[in-house]
Amino acid sequence: MSTGIVDIRIRQREFLLAISRALSAELDLSDVLRVILQASVEFIAGRAGLVVLADPNEHTFRVAAALGVPGETFEQHPQLVKGIPYEPGAEEAAIPLIDTGIQKLAKDISNDLDVAQTILLPMQSGDTIIGMIYVFQEKNFVFSSDAPNLLQSFADQAAIAVKNARLYEQVISEKKRLDAILDYSADGVMILDPQLKIEVFNQALSQITGWKPAEVLGCHHDTVLQWKNLRTETDLQMALDQGWPMPGSSHLYVEGVITKSNDDTVSLGVTYAPLLNPRGNLINIIANVRDLTRYREEEQLQKTFISVVSHELKTPVSIIKGYAGTLQRRDVDWPKEVMIEYLSVIEEEADSLTDLIDNLLEVSKLQAGSFKLNMAENISVPDIARQVSKKFSNQTKAHTFSVDFPADYPEIAGDERRITQVFNNLVSNAIKYSPEGGVIEIGGTINEDYVTAHVSDPGIGIPDHERHRIFQQFSRLDNALSRKTEGTGLGLFLTKAIIEAHHGRIWFSSNVDPDTGPTGTTFAFSLPK
């Protein structure tokens, strides 16, 4: 065997070895194509080369790698970079289009680089054309007999490389998509290994528990879910000790209250799903965590609603029934003034029932989204305030009223009945929570784009720890006075809804005495002019 043939064989093995190393060591498509293209060009002493790939997403052929081709050449043939379109499933039919573009390019390259001919090497997987390798060969190069086969093996290796790289890109893309789904899921998601070590911990769960993902990855499940009390019979560890999961077993649901990272508590519902291999061995446990705080609050509100409404309905009904029964006694001839007094009490209690029912209906409208205003022009807020103060002055002997609005206080557009309801609620509360009596001040101010009104009382004030609950439905101050005072806790909830429906804002403040605590409260609201 001649020395030249031996040298060619050695070079062939070197090129094949370089390509094999690239295939096994690299998953980056551009790096693999660069190695294959360089081997193809050098093997036949070429001057330049191109790899053109089919893009199955955009249905185009475009240059994916180039060697020895000047940038000016691509500027003259921009379709090679932008892509030559083809119909889906017609990759093979598009090859002549590519050849046409390459022939133009080859002509320019041959003029610039003294190239003799262009060699086309199709990259094919089964019946699917993945792309082509073009090698621009120098003049007077003599092929060895097995050079075409070797070049085609380069192309076949390139086809495998492209296929593997694209599969890798799909896997990475799918992983990123799944990571994004987990991370932006509204529910908390945690993935555990068989030893209950945390492998995945998403942002929603971080917000629920207060733990940052970096703090808990690799830690035990119980680091995060430290149950303070359980509403279900078992937790995860108890279930595992009892043999869960068994083949065909369903998900495990655990509910209770946990301690957060800042020692606060939160009510959670956790659904554990086992991930098993074909042999039935546990690979992972996927925990879907839901914050039940709002649900428990709604549950408590329902209980409070039943309790409050039952009490508030029962009281006036009992009074009405008692006075009506007394008037019906046949053994007593009631004087006219007594009958008028008793009938007045019955009427007042009937009005209380009507107000309660109206409030409940308003709340139901709010929750159903059907709360509407009957807007009218030229509503006088000071006139409404005076009418309300006059009404309540006849109902209390311990309080006096001061109504003070600027003379130029403007009329506004609004629902007169609703604004009256706002003042009724605020003045009623001012009387209720200032049992020692005193002056209740009602007034307002004028601003550039809006007007304000306020109701101030000299009463018990609002403690700091109660302030966040003031505008919640069925919420009342937790003190001895409120426990003795009738009320549903709906007034301020409806008041806030009415003001916000007018595109206004409501707030409150309490004066604080260093020795006695909060004294007096001012509720104020603003309305657009």
Question: Strand, coil or helix: what is 34?
Answer: helix
Residue 501 neighbours by CB under 8 Å, 6+ apart: 371, 373, 418
Question: Strand, coil or helix: what is 265?
Answer: strand
Question: Strand, coil or helix: what is 280?
Answer: coil
Question: What CATH code would you report for 376-528?
Answer: 3.30.565.10
pLDDT digits (tens, 9 = 90+) for 168-209: 878 888 888 877 777 778 789 999 999 999 999 998 999 999
> Do 294 and 303 meet the contact criterion of CB atoms below 8 Å apart?
no
pLDDT in the model for residue 298? 73
Q: Which of 97-111, 154-168, 461-475 has the lowest mean pLDDT?
A: 97-111
Average pLDDT over residues 291-312: 73
Q: What is the pTM of this model?
A: 0.47
> Do 504 and 526 meet the contact criterion of CB atoms below 8 Å apart?
yes
Least Cα distance to 155 among 230, 43, 299, 322 occurs for 43
> Do 67 and 41 meet the contact criterion of CB atoms below 8 Å apart?
yes
Helix H, strand E, coil C: the string for 443-504 is EEEECCCEEEEEEEECCCCCCHHHHHHCCCCCCCCCCHHHHHCCCCCCHHHHHHHHHHHCCC
pLDDT at 457 over 90: yes
Which residue's structure tokens are 């994004």?
180
pLDDT digits (tens, 9 = 90+) for 253-268: 999 999 998 888 899 9
Per-residue burial over 497-506, b if 16 or more Cβ lie within 10 Å, else e, is bbbebbebeb
How many angstroms separate the CA atoms of 235 and 213, rounded? 22
Bridge partner list, 115 = 138
| Assigned token pair, 449 | 């784009």
Output DSSP code: residue 529.
-
Please give the single-letter amino acid code of residue 383: D
Bridge partner list, 258 = 227, 266
pLDDT in the model for residue 379? 94
Average pLDDT over residues 89-100: 56
Q: What percent of the chain has pLDDT over 70?
A: 79
How many angstroms separate the CA atoms of 208 and 175, rounded? 24
pLDDT digits (tens, 9 = 90+) for 174-183: 888 877 777 7
How many angstroms separate the CA atoms of 453 and 447, rounded? 11
Q: How confident is the model at residue 482 (pLDDT cuts 50, 70, 90)?
A: very low
Q: How confident is the model at residue 91 (pLDDT cuts 50, 70, 90)?
A: low
Angle at 72 between CA 68 and CA 75, to 5 degrees: 120
Average pLDDT over residues 495-520: 82
Bridge partner list, 453 = 444, 525
pLDDT in the model for residue 261? 87
Query: What's the fold here for domain 3-176?
Result: Beta-Lactamase (3.30.450)
> Do 272 and 257 meet the contact criterion of CB atoms below 8 Å apart?
no
Task: Note whether 3-176 and 187-291 share their fold.
Answer: yes
Q: Which of 78-82, 302-306, 429-433, 452-456 has the lowest mean pLDDT?
A: 302-306
Please give the single-letter amino acid code of residue 162: V
Please give the single-letter amino acid code of residue 313: L
Residue 442 or 463, more confident: 442
pLDDT in the model for residue 227? 92
Phi, psi of 226 (to 5 degrees): -95, 100
How many angstroms separate the CA atoms of 526 and 499, rounded? 8
Least Cα distance to 195 among 219, 223, 227, 224 occurs for 219
Residue 164 neighbours by CB under 8 Å, 6+ apart: 23, 27
Output DSSP code: residue 220.
B
pLDDT digits (tens, 9 = 90+) for 403-456: 999 999 999 999 998 999 899 989 988 998 898 899 999 999 999 999 999 999
State how far the alpha carbon of 510 is from the alpha carbons of 425, 433, 466, in Å.
Answer: 18, 12, 12
> Do 200 and 214 meet the contact criterion of CB atoms below 8 Å apart?
no
Domain ranges of the chain: 3-176, 187-291, 300-368, 376-528
Q: What is the DSSP string of 148-178?
A: HHHHHHHHHHHHHHHHHHHHHHHHHHHHHHH
pLDDT in the model for residue 480? 43
Question: What CATH code would you report for 187-291?
Answer: 3.30.450.20
Specify whether the backbone of 476 is left (phi greater than 0), alpha (psi in -120 to 50) or beta: beta
Task: Report the chain's C-alpha Rg in angstroms.
Answer: 41
Choose which CATH entry (1.10.287.130, 1.10.1060.10, 3.30.70.3420, 1.10.10.10) describes domain 300-368.
1.10.287.130
pLDDT digits (tens, 9 = 90+) for 134-159: 888 776 555 566 667 777 777 887 78
Q: Which of 53-57, 323-327, 413-417 has the lowest mean pLDDT?
A: 53-57
State how far the alpha carbon of 315 is from the alpha carbons of 184, 303, 321, in Å.
Answer: 51, 19, 10
pLDDT in the model for residue 56? 76
Among 9-23, 153-167, 390-404, which range has the highest average pLDDT? 390-404
